[in-house]
Structure 1
């Protein structure tokens, strides 16, 4: 009998558009001989199963079941490809925990924690060989004095970003003091990001993104790194999703010592944060010092054919079909 997989997509933020692209690719790669796959769309207006003809059937939230042709369908596992809330911030994971449904991503606590960039940095700050940029975490009640708080503690230039956002939505690079107020307002007002803002000092260096996952044997596997080179000021939403603005080199040009060091650091990050499934760690390699600076961790990384993780899976010599099967089988253990 085939394993019934709920492929969960959609979401409540602007990242839903990316979720649909990711889930479409994952669906195309999943092994249909091993799995019965049901595409579940979670939106503010409702939770639905969508069949291949785009017909919608409501999900029963008591047990995440489905009624098809008067037959109740339940699932063996949820494959979460939902960027932003509620799929990346722990809410959906907490619900699945309550009803006893296994899933492919990090648990509720880790997912919630890692959506908070400032808290994540605090937990990782003492990992050997890993550095974190100087930063200020601003809450909603800091808004009136935010400019003075930043200027008193950090040196220009700054990165200003929503503390609980994704896809670089609401993010700005600030090179001049007069730009700070507008950048803070943009980050504070980003939709569904909790009105918290993280401001960091700029780190000058090469930017990398690297995946890691736990396979069905329980082994941690670090994928080859991708180097990101963009014509934009930084790797913003447009650079991520508009073709031609960014060059992505997979595998990245890192020497052997840098590769080993990155793998050690990324494994320790995965363990320290109690991650599960696949995650992606973004970092800088600072010019002149050769120090690795943590940027952020993504617990539901993008999964289009051009996304970093599929690129790295292919560079590792693995097919996406086998990779996704490993994630499902590991979740079922």
Structure 2
């Protein structure tokens, strides 16, 4: 493992917890932000917060712990990873629907459906642990995830599902980019069309969300690729030689949990001003300045009457 040093692990864990609690507070305060995007951003922030809590818990747990305690810890690790993948994929699907069916988007992806999907993602994350460790589970005295032996069949299913999630995200983004090019050409002939105006707004939203999904894919893809090579390789010596590289790539996943909160503040205008208001807690003058800018600034997303009704 890359981060077995207790001082390093607990420092990373504490920083993750503080940053993501702060991010959750900022996102919760952004009531004018598009409800679908805000709910998914909050969900991602919750998984990042869970990763920080697990790093701290991992530090204080004794090395030689019971199998039940170890499995419990691994259940939550799996939930954090699976829910992150699910939420990122739903973000891409959400943007695809908004670009393909702009006038029906608020009916197809309303607040209730997003809440149900996010709840299902956490349920899938809980169940997924028991599926992937059901095949040839072997007990070790030291609770380190990579020491838990998974049968070849279970490992192949595991990494193949994650690879499929990445592939779906990439394909959807490519399709959306092609639609953007097509919409840009149509804009020259009929710029006042309502369907076109909704599509242009969705293009702006997609570009902002792409920073989050793109960063996630960039940081998670290396560990998935290495895990697939290890799982499908019949050469045990070669697979073992890649273990340390896979562990190093896994540390990039933790890095994503640090980056996400800053992406929210950077890409979303309302989050950016709320972030600055929170940072200037000790200066009333600066707080009032950013509150004024936040009120004057047009919200990042267009809010329809459906959204207003759902929020009230």
TM-score bin (small chain)? under 0.3
The TM-score normalised by the length of structure 2 is 0.26
Name the structure, 1 or 2, with higher relative contact order (CA <8 Å, separation 6+): 2
Rg bigger for which structure?
Answer: 2
TM-score, normalised to structure 1, is 0.25
